[in-house]
Chains A and B, each alone.
Chain A
Amino acid sequence: MLSRLALHAAGALAPALKNAAPLAPGVLQASRIFHTASPHLAPLPPLPEHGGKIRHGLIPEEFFGFMYPKTGVTGPYVLGTGLILYFLSKEIYVITADTIAAVSTLGLLVYVAKKYGPTIAAFADKLREDQLAQAEAVKQASMKGISDAIELEKKQQALVAKRHYLFDVQRNNIAMTLEVYYRERLHKVYTEVKNRLDYHIAKQTMMRRKEQEHMISWVENHVMKSISAQEEKEAITKCISDLKVLAKKAQAQSQPVL
């Protein structure tokens, strides 16, 4: 109602706003939030770690807190006892076979919950931890993969800086090989030239020897031809007489020793 008053005052101040009269109810509702867009799905608000506190597995703690100022600590218990006795005595709740069955069933359920509850809760927590650990393992593996890639990249960059050693070694190798080839070819040239020269020398030597032999045989032949029979006889007799003289000399030389 006060907002309508404010609207009226606004209309008095600005005549243009008087035409806004039909919109008044809508403006009244303007403070209401209409859900016009889909709700934000992420990030979800965090859930509380533990549920609300409960006493005796059924009654929330707030009930005891609600009654505490007026009735103290025993208030809810007195109320509960009174209610139960009222239902029983007035036979609003009748004890039948179902009651005994209820005692049996609910007693069994409470026993099982008290005995195996923590075990099952621990099992459920373990399942959840496993799920978390799986995702965490994926994340860690991915991170490790990326850090390994970074290490590899760094190593390769360091290797690139040392590449010039490799190039020097290769350059030296190639220079040595070229030198070896050059020397081989040089040696080959030398041997070839030597071969040719040796051939010429051999040819010359052979020619000289042939000429020599030819000359010697020619001279011998001519000398043999020039020696007549008479001269040959005379030469032979002279040789025999020389030999005889020599023999005598030898004999004479040997005798004086005696």
Chain B
Amino acid sequence: MNENLFTPFICPSIMGVSTLPIIILFPCLIFSAPKRWLPNRMQILQIWLIRLITKQMMLMHNKLGRSWTLMLMSLILFIATTNLLGLLPYSFTPTTQLSMNLGMAIPLWMGTVVMGFRNKPKASLAHFLPQGTPTPLIPMLIIIETISLLIQPLALAVRLTANITAGHLLIHLIGSAALALMSISLALSSITFIILFLLTILEFAVALIQAYVFTLLVSLYLHDNT
């Protein structure tokens, strides 16, 4: 069924029409807004979770930074649900595609940088030179800081892509190892299956953590620039 190892990472298409928009939009079916005053269990838990995350993330920002709340909250929810849904068998995870992660990271990062340069240009430029550097080191340090700034969106995107892709690949590989070992030695296969089970637990954690890290870093860049 899978001719090579990377088949799960191909965008699925039905008769040549890419189903990617549907797949990306799919997680929003999970979040339903309550139409009544007393929501049902699912909605109550979601409301509670979203309130908890919002309070945790947006407390450190000032008024200008808090105007990004909706953006950041939707970001973390999207990445978390997409990653978690990707752990189900035979599913496709959009966040394994570098194109999509770059499409999320570059505009957000550039938004924070441009906002910083518009509102506080001196402070934004001052970020290029940490306090207390000895004078001869200044030119080199400015170059290093510029490179570090320009690498931020790339790092954001590649971090997410690599983590999720690597996790999926590992699950796939260890699963196939367990399958292959089944005909050779059942004991070894069981051990491999236990490893797979632990890895699955790890992948669930990684899915959530990566979403958190992505959003946290964007929020950090925002905090620097507001």
State the A residues within 8 Å of B (CB). Answer: 44, 47, 94-108, 120-121, 123-125, 127-128, 131-132
Asked if B173 lies at the interface with its beta carbon under 8 angstroms from chain A, I say yes
Tell me which of A95, A101, A102, A132 has the highest count of chain B C-beta atoms within 10 A of its own C-beta.
Answer: A101
On whether the beta carbons of A95 and B41 are closer than 8 Å, the reply is no
On whether the beta carbons of A102 and B90 are closer than 8 Å, the reply is yes
On whether the beta carbons of A96 and B1 are closer than 8 Å, the reply is yes
Q: Out of B8, B38, B174, B176, which one reaches A128, CB within 8 Å?
A: B38
State the B residues within 8 Å of A (CB). Answer: 1-2, 8, 35-36, 38-41, 44-45, 48, 87-90, 171-176, 178-179, 193, 196-197, 199-201, 204
Q: How far is the CB of A125 from chain B (nearest CB, A)?
A: 7
Q: Is the interface of B mostly helix, strand, loop or mixed?
A: helix
**Residue numbers in B under 8 Å from A124 (CB-CB):** 41, 44-45, 48
Q: Say whether, besides A105-B200, A108-B197, A100 and B178 are in contact (CB < 8 Å).
A: yes
On whether the beta carbons of A104 and B41 are closer than 8 Å, the reply is no
**What separation, in Å, do the CA atoms of A125 and B38 have in the docked complex?**
11
On whether the beta carbons of A104 and B196 are closer than 8 Å, the reply is yes
Q: Is the interface of A mostly helix, strand, loop or mixed?
A: helix
The number of inter-chain residue pairs (CB within 8 angstroms) is 79
Q: How far is the CB of B172 from chain A (nearest CB, A)?
A: 5
On whether the beta carbons of B172 and A127 are closer than 8 Å, the reply is no
On whether the beta carbons of B38 and A132 are closer than 8 Å, the reply is yes
**What separation, in Å, do the CA atoms of A25 and B197 have in the docked complex?**
66
Q: Which residue of B lies closest to A102 (CB)?
A: B89
**Residue numbers in A under 8 Å from B36 (CB-CB):** 44, 47
On whether the beta carbons of A97 and B44 are closer than 8 Å, the reply is no
Q: How far is the CB of B1 from chain A (nearest CB, A)?
A: 5
Q: Which residue of A lies closest to B200 (CB)?
A: A104
**Residue numbers in A under 8 Å from B176 (CB-CB):** 96-97, 100
* 27 pairs, A vs B, C-beta closer than 8 Å: A44-B35, A44-B36, A96-B1, A96-B2, A96-B175, A96-B176, A96-B179, A97-B173, A98-B2, A98-B90, A99-B175, A101-B89, A101-B172, A101-B175, A101-B196, A102-B88, A104-B175, A104-B199, A105-B87, A105-B89, A121-B41, A124-B41, A124-B44, A127-B44, A128-B39, A128-B44, A132-B38
Tell me which of A98, A106, A127 has the highest count of chain B C-beta atoms within 10 A of its own C-beta.
Answer: A98
Contacts A98-B8, A123-B45 given; 12 further ones with Cβ under 8 A? A96-B1, A96-B2, A96-B175, A96-B176, A97-B176, A97-B179, A99-B179, A100-B176, A101-B89, A101-B172, A102-B90, A103-B193
**What separation, in Å, do the CA atoms of A108 and B84 have in the docked complex?**
13
Q: How far is the CB of A47 from chain B (nearest CB, A)?
A: 8
Q: Which residue of B lies closest to A98 (CB)?
A: B89
On whether the beta carbons of A100 and B193 are closer than 8 Å, the reply is yes
On whether the beta carbons of B89 and A127 are closer than 8 Å, the reply is no
**What separation, in Å, do the CA atoms of A97 and B36 have in the docked complex?**
44
**What separation, in Å, do the CA atoms of A44 and B41 have in the docked complex?**
19
**Residue numbers in B under 8 Å from A101 (CB-CB):** 89, 171-172, 175, 196, 200
